[in-house]
Amino acid sequence: MNHPNDPVEQLVGLLSRLPGYGRRSARRAVLKMLQDPQRLMLPLADGLRIAAEAVRPCEVCGNLDTASPCHVCRDPHRERGLVCVVEGVADLWALERAGAHRGLYHVLGGVLSPLGGVGPEDLRIQPLVRRVAEEGIREVILALPATVEGATTGHYLHDRLHDLPVQVTRLAQGVPMGGALDVLDDGTLAAALRALGARVEQAGPGAWRVAGRGVGGLAEPAEVLEMGGSGSAAALFCGMLAGHPVFAVLAGDAALRRHPMGRVTGPLAACGARFTGCGGEFLPLAVEGARLALPAEHRLPVASATVKSALLLAGLCARGVTRVEEPGPSPDHTENLLRHFGARLRIMPEGAGWDGARVTELDGQPELVAAPVSVPGDPSLAGFPLVAALLVPGSRLTVRGVGLNLLRNGLLATLREMGGELAVTGERIEAGEAVGDVTATHSALRGVDVPAGRLRGTKGALPLLAVAAAFATGTSRIRGVGAESGGLAAVMALLAANGVAAEAEEGDLIIRRDGAPVPGGGSMAAGADSCSVMSALVLGLAAEKPVTVEDGACAGVVFPDFAGLMDRVAGGGAITSA
């Protein structure tokens, strides 16, 4: 063991202060540099010294650059009436890497945190107010973390800017993986599509413009395609690449690298593509697309929208008919979207409900035509505020633009059977999808028998439906949910912690209630999945005693600002930091 004053130990100690470095990783880095000081250590030391002397904060936006104002603020091509407010410089750089914003920026230097002792005077809020008042800024976009602190900061900024002639909006999409802009999902997706030759640019918050390459026209990427943490994106890219004579490598974050891809790559191999993964089926994954894509017939052992979509994307490039048979229906968003672009598909039986086999046939090599797409609201996520409105007396709430796809509305259909007053207005078709505005009014619910498969395609609906059943009168049996990889046990634990007895019987969840109030008062430890956390918060809004969630911010993984939104519609003070 070296002495603490040893220069090696001092260097290890300095490096271990950096994000992502513990003492072990810092020691490995130091050893690597010591083994080649001329090529690694001395140039690094020179680079650090030069950067320390040259880099400074931008006096206008707070960015770090070698000049002040920084290169972004000096850029004459920037839209100067549009300012994106971010927590830190890392977020600004993430947005720039993604090409997701063509206006200016303002770095706050943190977010409000009463528990952490961070107040408005500790952040660059007053300079923002001054910029808005003096520089003719017409819109401020809040791109803050999907956390309680981020939501609090957003509310405060909205109030501070309320009296100025400026529109305040929020970043609408792109932070589903943990709520941090460093894993900006739509930015990562845009970068991957650009690497394949598509032209992708952001047309505004939550809006993108894509110029495609045509069927069979993808270019071979010169760089690794990053998938972030999305297994669905990785599967769809496998499908796209399988039909093209290109070589590509897919990579992802630590969680995605543990996600097996065999159930997708196995069927895709029938199209003529080859896949080489770490450990056989894990990312990083090398994809060698087919030189001549082959039409194939696939019989899936279980219904899967993800696998089916990957096979259909590969089938676009094949001359002939690609046929996918499933033992039961799965969400058909891909089929609807392909039809919207002009592809020829046949689905048998057309319009099937939740039961029965389903066959999809695609005619290959179609001439697809670009068309506008409006992505409907996720009915599973819309269910959380809608169920809260059904349970809390005196409530009436409307969620606009909800997807009403037959194969995704099992939750809403079940709530109606339970006596929930759900009214749909403004029904329309957008990009091949049924869409409408759903209004929920407080209702007395009754127990029902939910058939197996009803919740297929509605990820995360089980804990929310169980919460609704806890407030219903009578027996509710949710059939066929025992195979949900531990989900049943987690739901039973959530109910038990709040005074509601439930039992499992041959894979069914049974909840018997006599109309008595739900006691509440339970707590949920950190580490629970996002949908369980949101379900617990909904339960707490209607129970006799409040529910405590140790990691409520994780709801922002799938529903940014969920806690803040629910607190606002509840009138304020309903959901607070413990």
Q: 283-327 pLDDT, tens per residue?
A: 888 999 988 888 888 898 888 888 999 999 999 988 889 999 988
CA distance 498 to 539: 9
pLDDT at 186 over 70: no
- pLDDT recorded at residue 172: 42
pLDDT at 180 over 70: no
* Residue pLDDT, tens place only, 422-450: 999 888 888 788 888 989 999 999 999 98
- pLDDT recorded at residue 474: 93
Nearest CA-CA partner of 186 in 196, 197, 200: 200
Q: Greater confidence, 35 or 460?
A: 35
Who's near 39: CB < 8 A, 6+ residues apart? none
Contact 530, 460 (CB under 8 A): yes
* Residue pLDDT, tens place only, 63-102: 999 999 999 999 988 989 999 999 999 888 878 876 667 8
- Within 10 Å of residue 526's Cβ, how many Cβ atoms? 11
- pLDDT recorded at residue 445: 92
CA distance 578 to 576: 6
Who's near 254: CB < 8 A, 6+ residues apart? none
Who's near 36: CB < 8 A, 6+ residues apart? none
Mapped to the 3 state alphabet, what secondary structure does 332-358 carry? CHHHHHHHHCCCCEEEECCCCCCCCCE
- pLDDT recorded at residue 222: 86
* pTM attached to this predicted model: 0.60
The 3-state DSSP class for residue 371 equals coil
Contact 195, 247 (CB under 8 A): no
Contact 229, 177 (CB under 8 A): yes
Q: Cis bond leading into 560, ω under 30°?
A: no
* Residue pLDDT, tens place only, 206-231: 677 888 888 888 889 888 888 877 78
* Residue pLDDT, tens place only, 501-519: 988 888 888 999 988 999 9
* Residue pLDDT, tens place only, 384-403: 999 999 998 988 888 888 88
Give the percent of the chain with pLDDT over 90: 24
Contact 402, 379 (CB under 8 A): yes
Q: Greater confidence, 183 or 73?
A: 73
CA distance 545 to 528: 21
Who's near 275: CB < 8 A, 6+ residues apart? 238, 261, 265, 268, 269, 281, 285, 286, 287, 288
Nearest CA-CA partner of 487 in 548, 525, 528: 528
Question: HSE (CB half, 13 Å, CA atoms) of 463?
Answer: 26
pLDDT at 486 over 60: no
Contact 318, 244 (CB under 8 A): no
Contact 87, 145 (CB under 8 A): yes
- Look at 144-148, 415-419, 426-430 and tell me which has the smallest mean pLDDT: 144-148
- pLDDT recorded at residue 96: 81
Query: Burial code of 117-141, b = ≥16 C-beta within 10 A, e = fewer?
Result: ebeeeebbbebbeebbeeeebebbb
C-alpha distances in angstroms, 40 versus 16, 28, 33, 37, 502?
Answer: 18, 13, 5, 5, 61
Residue 356's pLDDT band, with cuts at 50, 70 and 90, is low
- pLDDT recorded at residue 10: 85
pLDDT at 171 over 70: no
- Domains, the chain: 7-54 (1.10.8), 64-170 (3.40.1360.10), 186-202+214-363 (3.65.10.10), 379-570 (3.65.10.10)
- pLDDT recorded at residue 271: 86
Q: Greater confidence, 481 or 477?
A: 477
* Residue pLDDT, tens place only, 405-414: 877 788 888 9
- pLDDT recorded at residue 519: 92
* Residue pLDDT, tens place only, 6-39: 888 888 888 877 765 667 777 888 888 888 889 8
Q: Greater confidence, 439 or 115?
A: 439
pLDDT at 333 over 90: no
Nearest CA-CA partner of 413 in 367, 373, 447, 455: 455
Q: Greater confidence, 188 or 322?
A: 322
Residue 105's pLDDT band, with cuts at 50, 70 and 90, is very high
Question: HSE (CB half, 13 Å, CA atoms) of 520?
Answer: 17
Question: HSE (CB half, 13 Å, CA atoms) of 16?
Answer: 13
Nearest CA-CA partner of 103 in 132, 85, 79: 79
- pLDDT recorded at residue 20: 58
Who's near 510: CB < 8 A, 6+ residues apart? 475, 476, 477, 478, 502, 503, 504
Mean residue pLDDT of the chain comes to 83
Q: What is the C-alpha R_g of the chain?
A: 26
